[in-house]
Amino acid sequence: MTSSAMPPAAPAPNPASSLEVPPTGPVTAPLATPAATQAAPGTPMIAIDNVSKWYGDFQVLTNCTTATRKGEVVVVCGPSGSGKSTLIKCVNALEPFQKGQITVDGTQVANRKTNLPKLRSRVGMVFQHFELFPHLTITDNLSLAQRKVLGRGKDEAVAKGLALLERVGLKAHAHKFPGQLSGGQQQRVAIARALAMNPIVMLFDEPTSALDPEMVGEVLDVMVELAREGMTMMVVTHEMGFARKVANRVIFMDKGEIVEDAHKEDFFGSPRSERAQQFLSRILSH
Amino acid sequence: MNYNWNWGIFFDLSPEGTGTYADMLLSGLMWTIVTALCAWVIAFAIGSVVGVLRTLPSRAAQAVGNAYVELFRNVPLLVQMFLWFFVLPEVLPESWGTWLKQLPNAPFYTAVVCLGFFTASRVAEQVRAGIQALPRGQRMAGTALGLTTAQTYRYVLLPNAYRIILPPMTSEFLNNLKNTSVALTIGLLELTARARSMQEFSFQVFEAFTAATILYILINLVVVTVSGMLERRFAVPGR
Ligand SMILES: Nc1ncnc2c1ncn2[C@@H]1O[C@H](COP(=O)(O)OP(=O)(O)OP(=O)(O)O)[C@@H](O)[C@H]1O
Ligand SMILES: [Mg+2]
């Protein structure tokens, strides 16, 4: 039960060269411009250490331990209700946990002294249902937190937002409202909104599962590009194509436990647990 | 029925010596509007705070918000009016009580405060419902970007909640407007009170209350029109 929870020794280095990125228009600045971090490449950026969480009597997470190194892409999968969302929400303290420890770039998430808004501003998060702010234009969606949290001036924030919007191919939509965009477009804006804060890591909670199938690709493309630029990412998804393409490791969760935490090749080659095998055969058969 | 209709009565001088009966009714209308607007400012401010309290994660904050709403929503407005006007000055330290009783326009201030606090409990309900109607992810998205709880409410939750609750808030405003008439019991010379004095002085009860009814309907129409303009002004494109 508790075995195989340790991450493998060394992550495969990401192909970080942006030359490999298929050009999506005029070559401009990279998507990711993470703020300075404490961690050197290869050291844990997100360390989840023996975390347990309960909702009342119901235990959602049981002794979860894993680490995501700088520049690493970790895909989290598992059946519905297995605690995937809960686990990544613990990383930026959207959910409290009762036992264990999580550190992000050396900062303890559950420490009372931690400035949570500051920590969260360095951890980008993308949600299943986009969660753009419907009453604000795309430009304002992109600049609100830059201004209120990072204290950037209006011009700087807008410029940063527009640059990212251009990178995700939506510059022409800057003046529109979220409700006027398709799901795929909204999700790309949501990714740009998170990137505008210069996050040092990005969390994704099923970013494509609310999308019509024909829009999944455009969102995954942006994520692949981000991964190739060396962004540290934890991605809850059932898109195994994405996992195959860019993940370093795959974590399989079931009933609140990390059942498997393996190198991509090992995971797809020969997942050790029966539950993971069943799960894989079910989602790959679609 | 042997009733002596006299629609010209409005142009007769009222025995108060301050103008015609029409002037008297219009002065009542003015007090109705001013009282309703002032009470609404209080109701909107307190109601928003109390409504927000009830949606905060803190149990203590929720309890305070709930206590406020239960208290002010469950005691009849007329009783509240009497409590503020007759009872409060007696239970306060004597010098304060005397000061209150000698306030010029005491019925007006009392009516504003009483209606404001009462309507706040109803506004709070709307604000709470509006916030809770938003997708849970909106709060999370604000928080995840690093916004503080206060900023998340200010820039994300409340602007959306107010948009949702504009129609029920319009009816709360109309209720508030009509409830000003309860203040005639503490001597506020608002529209209903003025219609009653007109009836007492002139015995033209039908004319007096027909006029009052029409005036109430007219302000309601104005309120509904303004509300419709606000709704269009703040409509979110694409929804
Ligand atoms: N606020 C809550 N109160 C009580 N139980 C909850 C709460 N949120 C989640 N749960 C329960 O915790 C468990 C894990 O939920 P979680 O959302 O993390 O699962 P998940 O793996 O993300 O599933 P899905 O694939 O459906 O998104 C589920 O059984 C869920 O019912
Ligand atoms: Mg989930």
Beta carbons within 8 Å of B205's beta carbon, 6+ residues apart: B199
Judge: B237–A94 Cβ closer than 8 Å, yes or no: no
Judge: A176–B238 Cβ closer than 8 Å, yes or no: yes
- What pLDDT does B17 receive? 79
Neighbours of A167 (CB within 10 A): 23
| Spacing, Cα A85 to ligand 2 middle (Å) | 4
Flag whether residue A117 sits within 8 Å of chain B, measured between CB atoms: yes
B117 lies in some domain: yes
Indicate if ligand 1 lies below 6 Å from the C-beta of A61: no
- What pLDDT does B61 receive? 97
Residue B151's domain spans which residues?
Answer: 13-234
Report the C-alpha gap between B50 and B65 in whole angstroms: 5
Q: Which own/partner pairs from B69-74 qualify as long-range (CB within 8 Å, at least 24 positions apart)?
A: B69/B121, B69/B124, B69/B125, B71/B121, B72/B117, B72/B118, B72/B120, B72/B121, B73/B118, B73/B121, B73/B122, B73/B125
Contacts of B146 in chain A (CB under 8 A): 117-122, 145, 149-150, 197
| Spacing, Cα A120 to ligand 2 middle (Å) | 19
Among A89, A135, A177, select the one facing B160 at the smallest CB separation.
A135
Strand pairing class (A123-126; A201-205): parallel
Tokens (6 digits) for A54? 């309960």
- What pLDDT does A81 receive? 94
Flag whether residue A92 sits within 8 Å of chain B, measured between CB atoms: yes
| Spacing, Cα B10 to ligand 1 middle (Å) | 70
Report the C-alpha gap between A73 and A227 in whole angstroms: 7
Judge: A181–B135 Cβ closer than 8 Å, yes or no: no
CA A23 to chain CA centroid, nearest Å: 23
Flag whether residue B236 sits within 8 Å of chain A, measured between CB atoms: yes
pLDDT of B94-143, one tens digit each? 999 889 888 889 999 999 999 999 999 999 999 999 999 999 999 999 99
B1 lies in some domain: no
B126 lies in some domain: yes
Domain total in chain B? 1
Indicate if ligand 1 lies below 6 Å from the C-beta of A81: yes
| Atom of ligand 1 at shortest range from CA of A86 | 18
Positive or negative CA dihedral for A283, A205, A47, A91? Answer: negative
Indicate if ligand 1 lies below 6 Å from the C-beta of A251: no
Among B141, B145, B236, select the one facing A135 at the smallest CB separation.
B236
B5 lies in some domain: no
The angle formed by the CA atoms of residues A212, A218 and A219, to the nearest 5 degrees, is 80
Report the C-alpha gap between B178 and A199 in whole angstroms: 54
A90, A109, A119, A120: best to mutate for the B interface, most B CBs within 10 A: A120
Report the C-alpha gap between B217 and B213 in whole angstroms: 6
- What pLDDT does A286 receive? 58
- What pLDDT does A42 receive? 66
Block mean pLDDT (10 aa), chain A, length 286? 44 43 53 76 87 96 96 95 96 96 94 94 97 97 97 96 95 96 97 97 96 94 94 95 94 95 88 82 75
Which residue, judged by its Cα, is nearest atom 28 of ligand 1? A81
CATH number for the domain harbouring residue B122: 1.10.3720.10
Report the C-alpha gap between A74 and A252 in whole angstroms: 11
Report the C-alpha gap between A174 and B75 in whole angstroms: 51
Beta bridge partners of A68: A46
B183 lies in some domain: yes
B142 lies in some domain: yes
A92, A148, A175: best to mutate for the B interface, most B CBs within 10 A: A148
Flag whether residue A102 sits within 8 Å of chain B, measured between CB atoms: no
Report the C-alpha gap between A281 and B77 in whole angstroms: 66
ipTM of the complex: 0.87
- What pLDDT does A28 receive? 59
Which parts of chain B sit beneath pLDDT 50?
Answer: none
Flag whether residue B151 sits within 8 Å of chain A, measured between CB atoms: yes
Flag whether residue A12 sits within 8 Å of chain B, measured between CB atoms: no
